Structure 1
């Protein structure tokens, strides 16, 4: 079971939005917060990312990729001292809302100096209930793909750049898929960069010989009648040793995480399918629809049917 893919899929609430941005010095854009996570790929030229007052500006070069975990507001600029301007909201809509729209919007800014070309965008992720794997990521991830680093991420960036520079037949289908894949390549590259001595939390849990198989089992079969004893047996540890190790790495006790994942699984089914509530309850490990509804309302503040109607209405209004 690919836990990273499952964790991200559980948070997805829509398709990524993206804008091909061209800046000519002097230029600076103040980008507002987004509901989800933000990203930037430098395709040509150089610029600076200014995350906020409490973080230092980050110089960016061709091939650099930045991921902003919480979609925080920030500034992109040719130089940290350039006064930023606020783009209109429609400038960064990515063409969404029109059936004939391109998957990539476009925006130009600045004067007549050196040019920088970027792909800017956001992923619709439910930040109200983020998976702990995502919650433990740094607020800003900066990855460099030059000089042979992160070969797969570099290949994705090059493919994306080629499609944007020279759109051809099939580009409207290829570009969104590449942007979706980019998120997984970004997080894989970040996990690969973590040294064993510095790794803790979920980064350590995914590589732990005892905890990783247990997490995979929970994700693969959330409806199974797991107990701390049966999970400890799978981990090859005593009950007490397993419970301590799991809580230390994952950040919560085994059964607490199992409940969280069961409810997350149920919420995804309610959002993305018309599966009957009885079947949703069974796939979340509940033999009784009443018991499931009670647990779900405790977790989400809404009964399952109300949650399904609310998320459906939100999609129609997007």
Structure 2
């Protein structure tokens, strides 16, 4: 993949990664999760185990691994064989600290410790590309890798939660996720749907143009011309590779950039709408509210509109009590 496309893509992948739980698993136990609408990302801070998604095979993970589980699939973490017990996350939920909840499998000292987050169910920050993840992904980092310190900082934060623990953990999780994506893109894995999607030079030319100049009045015809393809061939191939139409992609890019401008600048909504290619503020506001559930002004007022109370995380009930984490 061309380096300029990767750089632009990583900048645009401003995904909202929300830290929401700490998972503690005793050796010989399994911790099961019901399907989420959101993509789940687990960070293994300590211990070993295996992951199973749906009825698929068990896949081993080691300390300092990042595990990405596709949306709308159940999954389990823990021992694949000789299981002493199994627990459902929603049935073993307690408050942990500073906006995090705790899930426990086992009745003793946990051997495996993970901190877990979710990527917004809409995936708008990822321009829809995360929808191409249909299989789980496990990325392990060597014990002497530069990110080792990041995992140790996450462990320290969740071991002694305090004011700002959730915010700090989210920043550390995002750092690891960016490195995982970079490895995913540059690793040369021909089976990767994301890699396939972005390694076609003709499509890449159109994608770079949209990322670089989102306010241009694009059409399928103009994008096809940029790609050096006929309109029909371009539209069909773009849909096959990206799982969405060219103009759907354009709109997601525009809205994502607009969302970032709303929260990072004081530019008037009308100016932001024009800069990303909308003819009027009203047209922009209608599309934005349909996508994000808030008007542009409310989105700005709420700092991005992504605040979620712990007890409202999809699939989990009311958290019950505070449980101290074994360091």
- Alpha-carbon distance in structure 1 between the residues aligned to 2:285 and 2:155: 50
The structure-2 alpha-carbon separation of the partners of 1:240 and 1:40, relative to structure 1 and needing over 3 Å to count, comes to closer
The equivalent residue for 1:16 is 19
Residues 1:177 and 2:171 are matched in the alignment:
yes
The structure-2 alpha-carbon separation of the partners of 1:305 and 1:133, relative to structure 1 and needing over 3 Å to count, comes to closer
The equivalent residue for 2:325 is none
The equivalent residue for 1:100 is none
SS at match of 1:204: helix
Residues 1:143 and 2:139 are matched in the alignment:
yes
Consecutive unaligned residues of structure 2, counting only runs of 5 or more, are 310-327
- Alpha-carbon distance in structure 2 between the residues aligned to 1:3 and 1:51: 31
Give the Å deviation of 1:217.
1.7
The equivalent residue for 2:40 is 38
* TM-score for the superposition, normalised by structure 1: 0.71
Are the counterparts in 2 of residues 281 and 288 from structure 1 also a CA contact under 8 Å?
A: yes
Residues 1:5 and 2:10 are matched in the alignment:
yes
Give the Å deviation of 1:137.
1.0
The equivalent residue for 2:317 is none
2:189 aligned to which of 179, 191, 195 = 195
Consecutive unaligned residues of structure 1, counting only runs of 5 or more, are 98-103
Give the Å deviation of 1:181.
1.0
The equivalent residue for 1:205 is 197
Residues 1:125 and 2:125 are matched in the alignment:
no
The equivalent residue for 1:160 is 150
Give the Å deviation of 1:258.
1.5
The structure-2 alpha-carbon separation of the partners of 1:184 and 1:93, relative to structure 1 and needing over 3 Å to count, comes to farther
- Alpha-carbon distance in structure 2 between the residues aligned to 1:313 and 1:145: 32
- Alpha-carbon distance in structure 1 between the residues aligned to 2:284 and 2:79: 53
Are the counterparts in 1 of residues 19 and 169 from structure 2 also a CA contact under 8 Å?
A: no
The equivalent residue for 1:101 is none
The equivalent residue for 2:249 is 257
Residues 1:116 and 2:107 are matched in the alignment:
no
Are the counterparts in 1 of residues 85 and 106 from structure 2 also a CA contact under 8 Å?
A: no
Residues 1:62 and 2:53 are matched in the alignment:
no
Deviation by residue 1:171-223 (Cα, 9 ceiling, x = unmatched):
96865432111112223333344534x455x4223222222132122122211
SS at match of 2:85: coil
The equivalent residue for 1:308 is 299
Residues 1:235 and 2:227 are matched in the alignment:
yes
- Alpha-carbon distance in structure 1 between the residues aligned to 2:27 and 2:293: 50
Structure scoring higher RCO (CA < 8 A, sep ≥ 6) equals 2
The equivalent residue for 1:49 is 51
* TM-score for the superposition, normalised by structure 2: 0.69
Are the counterparts in 2 of residues 222 and 284 from structure 1 also a CA contact under 8 Å?
A: yes
- Alpha-carbon distance in structure 2 between the residues aligned to 1:112 and 1:186: 32
